[in-house]
């Protein structure tokens, strides 16, 4: 009887393990992407639910003869939020401050008083990066007293939980939707939506002056400018603008102490560009030969014919 060739079971086992491993990695990645999509959807849905409240603030401010210079008349105390069970365990105020009268640019803010001692604790403005990320993401994902319940059904309404380790335990924080067009901040003209880093700095400095004009009880509190990511570009400029205003008397007499930046963008071209090609090589996206040619003929800061030909 002819002998049957032996099957390479080891090879099949290895192939099976590889298939399972790839399937597992794909499944995990899909679950991670689903969770990320669910969280993004939660923010969008939550902002849509809050939109009528912001719209009522906007319409009421438009009808007020003194609304252009009085953010106090454009603010509202919030005691309940959709998705949170019961009254909020902290003091939340939302409102608008106009920063460009000619274009009707109004920046929306969430102000949360310190849960320790609002009269003595620091006041801090918080700007989220992007540019173009709503300040609400800073409130629920970063330093604020709320967070989304990740156990919430992805197809259901997002639930909010109280976060006991918030920065608002020790500081008054103003979360600002900036630049205009972010979150609930808006302009009455198309021209008003054209923004730049310089314009953002100018508008935030105006915002701070007007806000403190209507909240003079906080003028003596230590004051900080803070933000993350892309705000590493604008936060230092805002701080400088406030400092100059204090020095020449054109701004509010704030007790400016400094600024904070988290994972900041500073000189994007200088610091980030040189890492792109080594990163691509390290991840196996380009060959060793191409990487070697890059090192011999190219520069991270400028293009050359030699680099193109290599």
Cα 208 from Cα 252, distance rounded (Å): 8
Q: What are 225-264's pLDDT values in tens digits?
A: 999 999 999 999 999 999 999 999 888 889 999 999 998 8
pLDDT of residue 65: 36
Classify burial at 22, counting beta carbons within 10 Å of its beta carbon; exposed 0-12, middle 13-18, buried 19 or more.
exposed
- Cα dist from 158 to 35, 44, 45, 268, whole Å: 12, 10, 8, 35
The whole-chain average pLDDT of the chain stands at 81
Give me the domains of the chain, ranges plus CATH numbers.
Answer: 27-266 (3.40.50.1820), 270-309 (no CATH)
Cα 122 from Cα 49, distance rounded (Å): 31
Q: How far apart are the first and last CA of the chain?
A: 63
Whether 257 and 223 have beta carbons less than 8 Å apart is answered as yes
Q: What are 25-44's pLDDT values in tens digits?
A: 444 555 555 555 555 555 55
pLDDT of residue 265: 83
pTM of the predicted model, to two decimals?
0.70
**Torsion angles phi and psi, residue 94, rounded to 5:** -125, 155
Evaluate if residue 63 carries a pLDDT over 60.
no
């Amino acid at each position: 009887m002819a002998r049957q060739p032996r099957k390479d079971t080891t090879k099949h086992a290895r192939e099976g393990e590889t298939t399972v491993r790839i399937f597992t990695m794909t499944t995990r990645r899909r679950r991670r992407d689903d969770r990320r999509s669910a969280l993004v959807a939660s923010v969008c849905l939550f902002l849509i639910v809050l939109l009528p409240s912001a719209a009522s603030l906007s319409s009421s401010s438009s009808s007020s003869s003194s609304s252009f210079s009085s953010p106090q008349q454009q603010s509202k105390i919030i005691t309940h939020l959709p998705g949170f069970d019961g009254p909020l365990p902290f003091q939340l105020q939302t409102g608008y401050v106009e920063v460009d009268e000619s274009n009707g640019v109004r920046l929306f803010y969430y102000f949360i008083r310190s849960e320790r001692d609002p009269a003595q604790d620091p006041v801090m403005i918080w700007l989220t990066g992007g540019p173009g990320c709503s300040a609400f993401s800073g409130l629920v994902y970063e330093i604020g007293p709320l967070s989304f319940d990740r156990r919430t059904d992805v197809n259901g309404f997002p639930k909010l939980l109280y976060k006991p380790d918030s920065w608002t335990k020790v500081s008054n924080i103003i979360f600002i939707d900036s630049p205009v067009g972010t979150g609930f901040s808006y302009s009455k003209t198309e021209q008003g939506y054209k923004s730049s880093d310089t314009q953002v700095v100018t508008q935030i400095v105006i915002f701070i002056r007007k806000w403190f004009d209507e909240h003079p009880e906080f003028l003596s509190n230590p004051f900080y400018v803070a933000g993350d990511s892309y705000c590493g570009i604008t936060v230092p400029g805002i701080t400088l603008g406030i400092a100059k205003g204090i020095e020449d008397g054109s701004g509010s007499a704030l007790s400016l102490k400094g600024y904070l930046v988290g994972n900041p963008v500073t000189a994007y071209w200088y610091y980030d560009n040189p890492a792109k090609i080594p990163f691509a090589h390290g991840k196996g996206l380009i060959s060793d030969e191409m990487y070697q040619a890059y090192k011999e003929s190219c520069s991270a800061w400028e293009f050359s014919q030699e680099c193109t030909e290599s």
